[in-house]
Structure 1
């Protein structure tokens, strides 16, 4: 990129949320600093890590980097969104502290946005890497196929709510650049939780604007055992399920994306089933029942849901009987007595 082009280039805000991953943070920062597109501000938002990562930031001695440390842990989503709120750029891009960008990521995604003011977002494909940073070719290809980027046509897509919400092709957490002013970042609900990137995709797509897809793999997404995406812990899965439930309940009520309401309704069924199963695993059969009932009412032949509902109901009766025999008073019985 020429000097004159750089001088007239728009400001891009790079948001790097971080928490307790100093080694990965250094790598993510390095990939941001190395961008061939130079007119950037890099906003590092630390969610009150056990060890302050300020020395890592200061070691770069780069005046484009701004460091913000929350005095207490405010939660993952609030930490991420705080960076978007204070960003000054015309465009914003998220880079999680354990991911990395190729050096021409911004250089290849900013020009399409600048050339067409009717684009909300530009995004690309990405590599999958191991904990030690090695590219996993098999997983990379599988990821591109699953999220339907492998055969996605390069160029402009408008409307793109099917790509954004139904196919979830846009990895807005690490592989997208967004026109900042199309989203009111201060009112994103915290209930979206770990599904915040899906919710951002939804907000971009419902704008009526377009999306630009660049098929090259310009970023690297790290998979490791401590990510929520890699766990079978029922408590974590319950949290994830509730996040998805909140999102799809919002989507199903938005007429601007009514063409994919059937997909959203199907996803709601799947999420209720997922929540029910994980509530059972967590020893909460009474809470699971409502989710299985939802599935049964909308999916007549769900034998697995029927079996799980019966199991939850029988277990709930058994526990209630056991507590009753031991003289415990449940909250429901207490309320009935007070009434």
Structure 2
């Protein structure tokens, strides 16, 4: 194994974590068990209620490096802290509630080694539930939804279409990136939870290519604590955060001259995010703040029933509007 490690480049596995001790242990285990062994595992804890240091120590693996913030710095800063700690030639992000197949790295790293003009390599993924059971219907829907079922295996030299339009590249969960190309400080705080899409954008405009391996090599967990599963006011706040991040990202994409062929798509998504933000603000009873976003979307979109309905609701007395918003909670 020592001889093998001399030949293998170092891969940094970064695992940002916060208050998910049971899932974290599974995530770390999936990294430790990689058949590709020359790696470091960086666990960056965002000041969890209980320090996961005991979990780290239970593995007795010298490849694991642990950092604990003395206070909560936010999800993005914790993620970027982990990236900045990475010493490897390649870096791969692993969510603290996800897992990798044992051959994830060994099947992706060799292509990066063989092709210096490739910045990232990615695979397809399974969808699992809170008990780590594979959701087969969800998995198939995920693969089709992100068009990985029709995506050609191999190297894609210009990949803005698959990265930013089809969103085929799961940058945060099933991707290995060439370290040193991306300046982690160039990812602004405004991207928030959309940091993975913004990172994909930086990779797209880097001039490098991307490699797709069509096998499912990671396990993405859908459970009750993800933003898409939240309900009530927490769901509204999740919508607000996501929409604010999307507005920032799509505005940046719209203004990048290298992506002009996709300008119309980015503008449509930008306006759609205005509507989503407006609805989230309405649900938080912030009508005056919501209305300008809805007006912006209404004026610049073709007639959109969702935007029009939300704009009308912003002029209806709050108790009556709340009834409509409750009925349309899944909008």
TM-score (norm 2): 0.92
Give the stretch that moved more between structures: 48-57 or 230-239: 230-239
Structure 1, gaps ≥5 residues long: 319-339
Give the stretch that moved more between structures: 239-248 or 255-264: 255-264
Q: How does 1:72-83 map to 2 (within 5 A)?
A: 72-83=71-82
1:299-337 C-alpha deviation (Å, 9 max, x unpaired): 232233223223313448x9xxxxxxxxxxxxxxxxxxx
Cα separation, 2, equivalents of 1:75 and 1:304: 32
Structure 2, gaps ≥5 residues long: 321-331
Equivalent position of 1:261 in the other structure: 263
Q: State the Cα distance separating 1:149 from its structure 2 match.
A: 0.8
2:213 partner SS? strand
Equivalent position of 1:132 in the other structure: 131
2:314 partner SS? helix
Equivalent position of 1:95 in the other structure: 94
Cα separation, 2, equivalents of 1:306 and 1:267: 16
1:12-68 C-alpha deviation (Å, 9 max, x unpaired): 000001111111111111100001111101000001111111011011111110000
Q: State the Cα distance separating 1:5 from its structure 2 match.
A: 4.4
Report the count of equivalent residues. 317
Cα separation, 2, equivalents of 1:308 and 1:31: 45
1:149 partner SS? coil
Cα separation, 2, equivalents of 1:134 and 1:68: 30
Equivalent position of 1:34 in the other structure: 33
Equivalent position of 1:122 in the other structure: 121
Structure label with greater radius of gyration: 1
* Coordinate RMSD, CA, aligned: 1.7
Cα separation, 2, equivalents of 1:231 and 1:251: 29
Q: State the Cα distance separating 1:285 from its structure 2 match.
A: 1.4
**Match among 294, 312, 317 for residue 292 of structure 1:** 294
The answer to whether the 8 Å contact 1:285/1:315 transfers is: no
The answer to whether the 8 Å contact 1:13/1:42 transfers is: yes
List structure 1 runs of 4+ shifted beyond 3 angstroms: 2-6, 313-316
